Amino acid sequence: MINEQYKKMLEGKSVIRQLSEFATARGKEIGYENVFDYSLGNPSVPVPEKFTEVMIDLLKTKTSMELHGYSPSLGIPSVKEKIAASLNKRFDMDYTGNHIFPTTGAAGAVAHAVRCVTKPGDEVLTFAPYFPEYNPYINMSGAILKVVPANTENFQINFEKLEEMLNEKTAALLINTPNNPSGAVYSTKTLEQLAALLKRKQEEYGHDIFIISDEPYREIVFEGVEAPYVSKFYDNSLSCYSFSKSLSLPGERIGYVAVNPRCTDAELISAMCGQISRGTGHNCPPSIIQLAVAEVLDITSDMSVYETNMNLLYNELTSLGFSCVKPGGTFYIFPKALEEDAVAFCQKALKYDLVLVPSDSFGVQGYFRMAYCIDTEKVERSLTAFRRFVKECY
Amino acid sequence: MINEQYKKMLEGKSVIRQLSEFATARGKEIGYENVFDYSLGNPSVPVPEKFTEVMIDLLKTKTSMELHGYSPSLGIPSVKEKIAASLNKRFDMDYTGNHIFPTTGAAGAVAHAVRCVTKPGDEVLTFAPYFPEYNPYINMSGAILKVVPANTENFQINFEKLEEMLNEKTAALLINTPNNPSGAVYSTKTLEQLAALLKRKQEEYGHDIFIISDEPYREIVFEGVEAPYVSKFYDNSLSCYSFSKSLSLPGERIGYVAVNPRCTDAELISAMCGQISRGTGHNCPPSIIQLAVAEVLDITSDMSVYETNMNLLYNELTSLGFSCVKPGGTFYIFPKALEEDAVAFCQKALKYDLVLVPSDSFGVQGYFRMAYCIDTEKVERSLTAFRRFVKECY
């Protein structure tokens, strides 16, 4: 019997995907190089050459069984140990391989983490503006996603609203720093204040409250900005990482959950992730991809273009009169639209072949997101379109 | 708050894994070459050279974005079309790319398929002896797995028991031919009889009953045996395939669901799989692995060793007095133990360094499974151990 719930989900279409499809279709009319497609966060810089070399080397030197045989369902031990060692060195943590659970990207990591630390009906709080895919990741686990309104001053945390929304049913907070879509990076002060509040609330409610920290943009931080490591501030924390952005390989679906060694049941959570994977038939990520990323843990793609693009856009947009919090990282910028209705604003921009995503699906009204992981040359040309758009429409 | 359900699941340990760990530990004492480890179904023959060549070629010739960029969440269209074309050619079907949903192996395929065609509380029937991982795949979806007792005469379907167990709540049947652990291949007669029964029951109950056909061993069929394609017999069928066994790359987690173009909502089911994947954060399999298998769809590893091993074991075991249905495919054999208690039997065999899996976890008592995906030379040496074991213990 066909499952009506999943069938019904087909009706809702992602706004981002629709815009991306529009951009592709428009590209066929006028040439894709003439569409200023800021819709999708698909990294534009190439994978590091070293990654390709490692892959070829694995294919040429390992036996079939070593390379393509079953990986243990909790991941390949040597890979987990290397990830732990790299995190310990960079962030002064004390992970062991046992605290690392390899996943299919940060999406897989968040989906596993939430199942470990909630039961159906529990509440998970996240903060606007937020990545809209958090809705399926959380709600399809049985937990309920609630959104704390934005602090639009600087896109740090709105603590007043957070404190109002915390309650006995709160099992976890899902945070994302550096943030998609705002580009904001949570400061040490924000993380200290968050940790202090949660410690108090854990005592008050008499149960754990976990931080699930979604960190795919951890390595994309701009000059002069400090990006503190979330798990340094709070024991009950699970770091969810993806190599998609730092190594430019989103298609290869590789990341991990790093379980804070000081959290409740720290020694069990990786194994619990393994049980969750059994039920979804996902098991662990492909063995060759696990083995390859383990050899390039301490390098990234050359991501300097993102900062160049950010500065170009930030300077032009603010000089055109846009109100905008300067991004500290990621490849997103999140300016205020020039009218209250961001959907109408982005609709008008399409006439100038500017593909911008209205903020509504990120849980905030009146803003728009630009994913500037595109060529700088194209960003520069888009500025002319922006000037015309603003001059003619506002 | 730690999820107690997943935590509790850690207490149950897979018998197969425990035996495999025993074999590894014993191997450290006496040399692994002296342990007759028949526990795990990890293919022993190498991946086809062509697969390795294709991977290296992709890495050397494709741009980073083409190779490692986001795959559409329903899979790469060109890959899906090639899989459809290959199936159409081989099995006279009429799949389009839209009917193919790439997954992380057959496990991922079954886990998606069951969610598409059941709702929580629905019953899924499978047939003893069966792969024990069906329990998490089905039960963690919210559906309930029920096991139809074995037809021990030939390990075809026990239709009498099946008819007793079919009821209004039956949403799907999960079948596995060629079968793990029995090695049996369902005959045309079995599949015709099954299809006729289900068509009658669909009418009687006024709702669809799907066949979820788990087919990782589809390409491992022995001389003189015909392995009919399940979806030729019954419209409401979903084929779940894995390249793990045919290409010897279980670690790379690649397979697919092929939706029968004549089933209910055939045009929607792939997209529904995509929605299910969103919720588990799994999305589609890695892009490079999708692209690589699409180039080797019509070849397999050299799997002749499995038939050689099967014949050696079958001949020796039957001459030693074991009662045994001759496998038609796979790399498993499932003889009757020489005493009623298969656990006790397998325990005694360990003294001869014969690692056999008792049948209890496969839903049948009094049998044992041997996974003979090992070197023929080792199979030959194990026969001496078998002779001593039988002579001294029975």
How far does A204 lie from chain B, in Å, by closest CA?
Answer: 14
Q: What percent of chain A has pLDDT over 70?
A: 100
Q: Do the Cβ atoms of B252 and A287 come within 8 Å? A: yes
Q: Which residues of A touch B2 (CB under 8 A)?
A: 116-117, 208, 264-265, 268-269
Q: Residue A137's closest chain B neighbor by CA?
A: B279
Chain B, window 239-278: residues with a beta carbon less than 8 angstroms from a chain A beta carbon: 248-254, 264-265, 268-269, 271-272, 275-276, 278
Q: Do the Cβ atoms of B52 and A40 come within 8 Å? A: no
Length of chain B: 394
- Looking at residue B17, its pLDDT comes to 80
* Mean pLDDT computed over every residue of chain A: 96
Interface A–B counts its CB contacts (< 8 A) at: 243
Is the predicted pLDDT of residue B71 greater than 90, yes or no? no
Q: Which residues of B touch A210 (CB under 8 A)?
A: 1
Average of pLDDT values for A208-234?
97
Average of pLDDT values for B243-247?
96
Is the predicted pLDDT of residue A14 greater than 90, yes or no? no
Chain A, window 43-102: residues with a beta carbon less than 8 angstroms from a chain B beta carbon: 43-47, 52, 55-56, 59-60, 63-65, 67-71
Nearest to A115 among B6, B52, B107 (CB): B6
Q: What percent of chain B has pLDDT over 90?
A: 90
Q: Residue A56's closest chain B neighbor by CA?
A: B56
Return the number of other C-beta atoms located less than 10 Å from residue A103's C-beta: 29
> In sequence order, which residues have a C-beta less than 8 Å from that of residue A344 and are 6 or more positions away?
none
Is the predicted pLDDT of residue B13 greater than 80, yes or no? no
- Looking at residue A44, its pLDDT comes to 85
CA-to-CA distance for A124 and A143, rounded, in angstroms?
7
- Looking at residue B12, its pLDDT comes to 76
DSSP code at position B121: T
Average of pLDDT values for B289-309?
96
Average of pLDDT values for A32-55?
94
Chain B, window 344-373: residues with a beta carbon less than 8 angstroms from a chain A beta carbon: none
How far does A384 lie from chain B, in Å, by closest CA?
Answer: 27
The string of DSSP codes covering A200-252 is HHHHHHTS--EEEEE-TTTT-B-TT-----GGGT-SSEEEEEESTTTTT-GGG
Is B40 or B383 the better-scoring residue by pLDDT?
Answer: B383
Residue A17: pLDDT band (50, 70, 90) is confident
ipTM score for this prediction: 0.95
Is the predicted pLDDT of residue B138 greater than 90, yes or no? yes
Q: Do the Cβ atoms of A286 and B71 come within 8 Å? A: no
CA-to-CA distance for A317 and B129, rounded, in angstroms?
66
Query: Can you read off the two tokens belonging to residue A39?
Result: 């819709």
pLDDT tens digits along A275-295: 999 888 877 899 999 999 999
Start-to-end C-alpha separation, chain B: 54
CA-to-CA distance for B189 and B184, rounded, in angstroms?
14
Answer whether A171 touches B (CB < 8 Å).
yes
What amino acid is encoded at A305 in this protein? Answer: V
pTM value is 0.95
Q: Which residues of A touch B70 (CB under 8 A)?
A: 40, 42, 250-251
Set out the domains of chain B in order of their start, with CATH numbers: 4-47+301-393 (3.90.1150.10), 70-293 (3.40.640.10)
- Largest Cα–Cα distance of chain B, in whole Å? 64
Average of pLDDT values for A193-217?
98
Answer whether A28 touches B (CB < 8 Å).
no
Average of pLDDT values for B372-385?
97
The string of DSSP codes covering B134-174 is HHHHHHTTT-EEEEEPP-TTTSS--HHHHHHH--TTEEEEE
Q: Which residues of B touch A63 (CB under 8 A)?
A: 46
Q: Do the Cβ atoms of B119 and A3 come within 8 Å? A: yes
- Looking at residue B39, its pLDDT comes to 93
Answer whether A215 touches B (CB < 8 Å).
no
For residues B262 and B234, the answer to whether their CB atoms sit within 8 Å is no
Answer whether B105 touches A (CB < 8 Å).
yes
